[in-house]
Amino acid sequence: MAEFVYNGDEWLQDLWRSPAVSDQVEAIGQEILAAAKANAAAFRNTGAFEDSIKGELMKSRKGRPFYRVSSNDPAALSIEFGTAKRPAYRALGKAIEVYRNG
């Protein structure tokens, strides 16, 4: 009979830190980045917002991979979330929803 030895969550931490998980996180992140840029292209006034959207594979303090998609455009927050005079455009939010909903 096989004996099960529980050694905490170390195996799960090792899985999260594995190159295979990092590769998968990066692949999904790049899909979301491409969708966000496509959404921003439809909003094109100057192209600055679209050009400012970048993606980067990062690691948490615990070594877990995540992919950050962000914009450093000064108007990014008002474009994404809207203002009193402009509705929310949600280029990044829509990209995440499309991936989440298939």
pLDDT in tens, 23-54: 999 999 999 999 999 999 887 778 899 999 99
| CA dist., res. 19 & res. 65, Å (int) | 9
For the ranges 6-10, 30-34, 74-78, 93-97, the lowest mean pLDDT is seen at 6-10
**Is 5 inside any structural domain?**
no
**Is 16 inside any structural domain?**
yes
Answer whether residue 17 shows pLDDT above 80. Answer: yes
**Is 1 inside any structural domain?**
no
**What's residue 23's pLDDT?**
95
**Is 17 inside any structural domain?**
yes
Q: Contact at 8 Å (CB) between 43 and 75?
A: no
**Is 3 inside any structural domain?**
no
| CA dist., res. 49 & res. 44, Å (int) | 8
- Give the dihedral of Cα atoms 72, 86, 99, 20; nearest 10 deg: 10
How confident is residue 12, by pLDDT bands cut at 50, 70 and 90?
confident
**Is 26 inside any structural domain?**
yes
Quote the number of domains for the chain.
1
Domain residues for 28? 10-101
